Structure 1
Amino acid sequence: MNALVLLNPKAGSGRALRQFREIEPLLPTLLDDFLVATTSSAGEITKHLESALAAGYDTILAMGGDGTNFALINALAQFPGHDFTIATLPMGSGRDWARTLKIPQDPEAALRWMTEATPRPVDLGCIRYDGQSQRFLNVASAGLSGEVSRRTNVPVKRPWTFLQATITTLLEFDALPMRVTVDGKVWYEGGAFLLAVGNGQYFGRGMHICPEAKFDDGFLDVVLVERMNKLKVLAALPSLFQGTHIRRADVHTRRARHVLVEAIGPDLGIDMDGEMAGGRRVEFEVMPHALKMLINS
């Protein structure tokens, strides 16, 4: 395997660099040839991909977090027709995509998992809002999660950062009125805390938001949490980690190829694989088998 090793040294509040140094001696024994490139911005990733093409590398090994994956798949959009294979080693704070793929959390075990994996086509999601278009690999959402994303966008994240931000936001956040259209038909209209659209199953550092999502079935899984008493929401929070929240009467689920969310009141906060944005009209659409990724299953 000839690979461009794309390292985000700032991922995981700097933990990625330390973990990379631990496994660096293993790389020559597991890869035929490789080039290490460090990056902290999408612009840098584009330049590194150009270098990979020039050197004949066909595999990109991303060492970072969900934000690194997000930046990478959007940079890849600038190289249509080039058949890169992507692999991810989880070194970020959330590591939610890795949970769906069951990639080991230990870096050495994850590296060996990757070398035993085979290329498989996976879906991507496309999200459009306020004239912008982005791709997402894992989960994109609107509502409360946009505010949680803003609160967790801090230089140093602790293990409790996501949960603390979620609880604080729940106590302060008012459900937003929205209209949700799924595959051309109005599906829900009213107040909602959250609308999540998943290609992967987890977000927010281990919340099992879309427990039935499959990353290669040509669909996105839609989960909507409607307005409810805040104490009731807090009491239901443990079920979100267990994936049992979808059994509740006030939680609605669908599988879809296209989802349109329109704000009836205030603008909607948006979260895309941990990156934040906002808008009044937000579209989600599946991109079937748009990416080739190393999967060990």
Structure 2
Amino acid sequence: MRQFTAVVNPTAGDSTGAAALLRIARLLREAGAELETEYSRSLAHAQEIAVRAGKQGRIVLAVGGDGIAGGIGGALSGTGTTLGLVPAGRGNDFARALGLPADPADLARILLTGDPRHVDTIEVESAVHARTVVLGSVYAGVDALANRHANEARLLRGAASYYAGGLRAVATWRPASFRVTVDGQEHDCRGYTVVAANSRYYGSGRAIAPEARLDDGQLDVVMIHEAPRRLFFAIMNELKTGAHVHRPEVQVLRGREIRIEADRPVPYGADGEVEAALPVTARVRPGDLAVLC
């Protein structure tokens, strides 16, 4: 029977991480699995716990949102340790991309009997973060600003916090001139944002890269060029379905290594946690993480 170490972000989803784990823990233990629980003090502490548990041959459960999932998944990338997710955050976009069920009984069944699937991860390199590995996406421009506003929201949760953060960010955004290098080929983009996506989802279920696949060895690069603000708000609404990629203002490329630069200080983020300023380089690490799904 499987042995699990659950690493809980106690502040995820307004403190729902522990509650989400309780429902799963009972089902795992009733089935005969061994489960120990650790509460993290910080993302770095969560990563330390996960790596130590992996060295002991245990399956690591990341309990929380995309931040702790990406942080722990990045730390376990290339180690051979299997990762399981118990979604309990604002967005849960990587869990969504994996197709994980919301029902606790169905999720427990996957954790107990599911076969590990090897998925890609993203190595992120910049002047601030020497080398960090994340799971979902790296985004630069208005998206990073919107994510910051969403994380600061106190009264809103889930998609509402991201939508409100997006409205606030767009209202004050000045188009930037990006230089995006995809596998050595340069592309210019003056506009709102550039996203290097491993997962199709970000921002609590918005399909920024609808054709992205977790195990194809490539990143989908989505560039949203300059447009009137009213049109950008329409594009934001189309992110729900992925229809935005058919607009002429949206350009989609694909590659293994992406470098994003800008003509002025522009923020970037990754998996809701890494926050710094361009330039940044994102490289795919094919099949580097085993995940139960």
TM-score (norm 1): 0.91
Seen in structure 2, the aligned counterparts of structure 1 residues 152 and 200 have a Cα distance that, compared at 3 Å, is: same
Q: Cα RMSD (Å) of the superposition?
A: 1.9
2:139 is matched with 141
- Match of 1:242, SS state, is coil
- Paired with 1:46 and 1:251, the residues of 2 have a C-alpha distance of 36
Matched, 1:21 2:18: no
- Paired with 1:23 and 1:40, the residues of 2 have a C-alpha distance of 22
Correspondences of 1:95-134 after superposition (within 5 Å)? 95-132=92-129, 133-134=131-132
- Paired with 2:111 and 2:22, the residues of 1 have a C-alpha distance of 18
Provide Cα deviations, 1:163-219, integer angstroms capped at 9, x if missing partner. 1111121122112111111110112x1412011111111101111001101111110
* Contact map agreement 1:42 1:75 (CA 8 A) in 2: no
Shift, 1:53, TM fit: 4.9
Q: Given residue 198 of structure 1, which amino acid in structure 2 is its aligned partner?
A: A
Shift, 1:94, TM fit: 0.5
- Paired with 2:103 and 2:244, the residues of 1 have a C-alpha distance of 29
- Match of 1:4, SS state, is strand
* Contact map agreement 1:122 1:291 (CA 8 A) in 2: yes
Correspondences of 1:200-219 after superposition (within 5 Å)? 200-219=199-218
Question: Which of 275, 282, 285 is equivalent to 1:284?
Answer: 282
Seen in structure 2, the aligned counterparts of structure 1 residues 148 and 155 have a Cα distance that, compared at 3 Å, is: closer
- Match of 2:239, SS state, is helix
Shift, 1:51, TM fit: 4.4
* Contact map agreement 1:2 1:31 (CA 8 A) in 2: no
Q: Given residue 10 of structure 1, which amino acid in structure 2 is its aligned partner?
A: T
Of all paired residues, the percent bearing the same amino acid is: 27
Structure 1: which 5+ residue stretches go unaligned?
A: none
- Match of 2:224, SS state, is strand
* Contact map agreement 1:146 1:278 (CA 8 A) in 2: no
Shift, 1:24, TM fit: 2.8
Structure 1 stretch displaced more, 30-39 or 138-147? 30-39
Matched, 1:184 2:181: no
* Contact map agreement 1:86 1:293 (CA 8 A) in 2: yes
Seen in structure 2, the aligned counterparts of structure 1 residues 17 and 91 have a Cα distance that, compared at 3 Å, is: same
Structure 2: which 5+ residue stretches go unaligned?
A: none
Structure 1 stretch displaced more, 56-65 or 45-54? 45-54
Shift, 1:113, TM fit: 3.1
Q: Given residue 173 of structure 1, which amino acid in structure 2 is its aligned partner?
A: W
Correspondences of 1:12-91 after superposition (within 5 Å)? 12-30=13-31, 32-49=33-50, 51-53=52-54, 56-76=56-76, 82-91=79-88
- Runs of 4+ with >4 A deviation: none
Shift, 1:31, TM fit: 5.1
* Contact map agreement 1:219 1:255 (CA 8 A) in 2: yes
Shift, 1:28, TM fit: 0.8
Matched, 1:165 2:168: no
Shift, 1:40, TM fit: 3.6
- Match of 1:241, SS state, is coil
Provide Cα deviations, 1:4-36, integer angstroms capped at 9, x if missing partner. 111222111111122222333212123532211
* Contact map agreement 2:4 2:36 (CA 8 A) in 1: yes
Structure 1 stretch displaced more, 154-163 or 136-145? 154-163
Structure 1 stretch displaced more, 147-156 or 194-203? 147-156
- Paired with 2:11 and 2:195, the residues of 1 have a C-alpha distance of 27
- Paired with 1:104 and 1:73, the residues of 2 have a C-alpha distance of 19
